[in-house]
Amino acid sequence: MGNFKGHALPGSFFLLFGLWWSVKYPLKYACRKNKNACYLGSRAGFQRLEFVEGIIKAVFALIGMVAEQFVPDGPHLKLYNYEEQHWDHLMNWQHATMYLFYGISGLVDIVAHGTNTLPLAMDRMMLSVAVFIEGFLFCYHLHGRAMLDVHVHQLLLFAVFGAAVCVFLEVFFRGSIVLEMLRTSLCILQGSWFWQIGFVLYPPNGSPEWNQTDHTNMMFLTMCYCWHYAFAFLIIAVNYTIVSW
């Protein structure tokens, strides 16, 4: 959806997962160090969490796909307009495709942690693919857009591809608290930046519009992006401290 809600929705999903991971992984790390003091210290306990997480991820993805298709101005599953001879609502279709791969990632989580059918590493592998697909789609999502519009989405790509690489490394270094915290920080950054993009491109409640061609706006938003990342680290530090207390 090319509007404020269309950016707030994925932003909320990424923020929720990032905030959850900022508690989950420090807790997991603390439990590994002191198994007797933690009910979830067993492998089975955290596998149950991963299973539930997969269900939530799949449900979020389904909500996203349905929202992209069936909003009032959405494509309603119509990909090509034969009457006017052009593709129909490709922006919505790209967003729905992004959600599709996150949904597949959720299903892989469910199978990998609910059965013995798949190796556990497949959950990280599929999540890495889903995040990469998100970035890949956004690379070809910006043609003909205003300068500021392109810039804020390009900034998002740093977080997306950074997260894709991070999750891919987790396939081989599973349980690395450093990689898990890095992924968490980039997920929170994605979530907060999606919201920021919504406020910049589609100001709600009659707020003044941003000048799309002003270079100083680009400079400010680049700096603002760094502030978002600093805030992500602050959240992680606070949650890590509380969990480890």
Domain ranges of the chain: 4-244
Length of the chain: 245
- Integer Cα distance of 38 and 40 in angstroms: 5
Task: Give the 3-state secondary structure of residue 84.
Answer: coil
**Band of residue 35 on the pLDDT scale cut at 50, 70, 90:** low
pLDDT exceeds 60 at position 22 = yes
- List all residues 6 or more positions away from 193 whose beta carbon is below 8 Å from its beta carbon: 11, 152, 155, 156, 159, 225, 228
Higher pLDDT, 22 or 2: 22
Average pLDDT, the chain: 91
Q: How many CB atoms lie within 10 A of CB 71?
A: 16
Q: Which of 29-33, 67-71, 86-90, 212-216 has the least mean pLDDT? A: 29-33
Rounded-to-integer distance, Cα 16 and Cα 115, Å = 26
What average pLDDT does the segment 15-43 reach? 81
H helix or E strand, kind and range, residue 81: strand 80-81
In angstroms, what is the C-alpha Rg of the chain?
19
| Alpha-carbon gap, residue 177 to 194, rounded angstroms | 26
152's CB contacts (< 8 A; 6+ apart) are 193, 196, 197, 200, 201, 221
- Per-residue pLDDT tens over the stretch 72-124: 888 889 998 888 888 988 889 999 999 999 999 999 999 999 988 899 999 99
Q: Which residue has the tokens 């508690």?
A: 23
Are 8 and 195 a contacting pair, CB within 8 Å?
A: yes
CA atoms of 166 and 178, how far apart (whole Å): 10
> pTM, whole model, 2 decimals?
0.92
Give the span between the Cα atoms of 78 and 87, in whole angstroms: 9
The answer to whether the beta carbons of residues 86 and 113 sit under 8 Å apart is: no
- Whether 137 shows a pLDDT value over 60: the answer reads yes
Indicate the pLDDT class of residue 31, thresholds 50, 70 and 90: confident
Mean pLDDT of 221-240: 97
State residue 62's pLDDT score. Answer: 97
Predicted local distance difference test score (pLDDT) of residue 45: 73
